[in-house]
């Protein structure tokens, strides 16, 4: 049993912040940011929350899939920036769209989150535990940033992307995933400190911190390796893939992956110039953009790939 994508949706906050806007409040410039990353703008939440963006993306995906929310068996939400520890963002989406029959669960694999969520849906389909399932990647990363750290805060944005899948025994889907916890300290964001009747800790929590060079080296090595693995399992060549839909972290990473895979950069869609890095939301936002532009046709062979905090990675080969 495999899955097919029935529909997609995405949502970006109304407020768009350019590199020039950032240059007004910190020591940076459009040239400095764009030449190193390919990013020129990002969307930042003002009134939008993680759950509200997820709900809006979900409603668009339901409309695209032409199904009722009551038909959903599961809702999987990938996020590292939920509004609450509980209720889960998935339960808030359930409430927001009226998916009363869905079982809801959040998962956190940072920038690999949507891929892990899609792989979870595939596992549920194979086990006969779900037929129609919703996977959302959503982040409000702006609330986690140190806005005095110009080397990191300029890289990220907010947004939500969603895909609805259905179990389908006629499709071929192959997956690869992995984690490297011993490198986890190269990309971190603290949660609440231990603070109880026995321990008192009023020290401020640290915000997102990243060793960019270490993450870059990890990404350019693991992406082609993971993609080769799923293509080999699917018995499909790189030349047969119409698009490689990669996590939108840095244009240089995507260009390096294309070079190592010996495939033209045109097969690697990019929207990070306008959305920046939205972590778990990058792949589904880009996928929805491609879908809405009519770039995908039935039977197209594509590869989705995520990589990031944990460190984690995952790839999925599927047929549109």
Residues near 178 by Cβ (< 8 Å), separated by ≥ 6? 222, 226, 312, 313, 314
84 part of the active site: no
CA atoms within 13 A on the CB side of 3: 30
How far apart are alpha carbons 257 and 224 in whole angstroms?
A: 6
Give the C-alpha separation, 121 to 167, whole Å.
9
Contact residues for 146 (Cβ-Cβ < 8 A; gap 6+)? 152, 153, 207, 208, 209
Q: For the chain, count helices (H), then strands (E).
A: 10, 13
- Residue 263 C-alpha from the chain's centroid: 23
Given 91, 104, 111, 162, which residue is catalytic? 111
Give dist(CA 3, CA 167) in Å, integer: 4
In the chain, where does DSSP find H-type helix?
19-23, 30-37, 50-65, 89-97, 113-126, 150-153, 212-234, 251-261, 272-275, 282-292
Catalytic annotation, pick one of 104, 162, 189, 247: 247
Q: Which helix (H) or strand (E) holds 132?
A: strand 132-140
Exactly one of 19, 250, 277, 291 is catalytic; name it: 277
Q: Are strands 16-18 and 41-43 parallel, antiparallel or unpaired?
A: antiparallel
**Active-site residue 162, yes or no?**
no
Catalytic residue flag (residue 277): yes
Cis-peptide, bond into residue 311, ω within 30° of zero: yes
Catalytic center residues: 111, 247, 277
């Amino acid at each position: 049993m495999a899955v097919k994508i029935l529909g997609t949706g995405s949502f970006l906050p109304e407020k768009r912040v350019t590199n020039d806007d950032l240059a007004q409040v910190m020591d940076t410039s459009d040239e400095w940011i764009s030449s190193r990353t390919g990013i020129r703008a990002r969307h930042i939440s003002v009134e939008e929350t993680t759950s509200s963006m997820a709900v809006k993306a979900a409603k668009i995906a339901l409309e695209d899939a032409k199904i009722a929310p009551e038909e959903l068996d599961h809702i999987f939400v990938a996020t590292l920036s939920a509004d609450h520890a509980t209720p889960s963002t998935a339960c808030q989406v359930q409430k927001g769209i009226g998916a009363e029959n869905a079982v809801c669960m959040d998962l956190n694999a940072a920038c690999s989150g949507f891929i892990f969520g899609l792989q979870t849906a595939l596992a549920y389909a194979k086990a006969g535990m779900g037929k129609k399932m919703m996977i959302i990647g959503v982040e409000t990363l702006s609330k986690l940033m140190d806005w005095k750290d110009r080397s990191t805060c300029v890289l990220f944005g907010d947004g939500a992307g969603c895909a609805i899948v259905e179990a389908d025994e006629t499709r071929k889907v192959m997956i690869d995933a992995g984690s490297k916890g011993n490198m986890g300290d190269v990309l971190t964001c603290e949660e609440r400190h231990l603070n109880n009747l026995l321990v008192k800790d009023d020290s401020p929590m640290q915000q997102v911190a990243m060793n960019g060079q270490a993450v870059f080296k990890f990404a350019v090595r693991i992406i082609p390796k993971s993609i080769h693995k799923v293509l080999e399992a699917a018995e499909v060549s790189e030349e047969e893939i119409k698009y490689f839909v990669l996590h939108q972290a840095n244009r240089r990473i995507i260009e390096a992956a294309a070079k190592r895979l010996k495939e033209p950069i045109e097969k690697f869609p990019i929207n990070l110039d306008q959305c920046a890095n939205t972590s778990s939301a990058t792949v589904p936002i880009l996928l929805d953009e491609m879908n809405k532009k009519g770039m995908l046709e039935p039977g197209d062979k594509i590869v989705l790939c995520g990589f990031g905090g944990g460190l984690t990675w995952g790839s999925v080969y599927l047929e549109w």
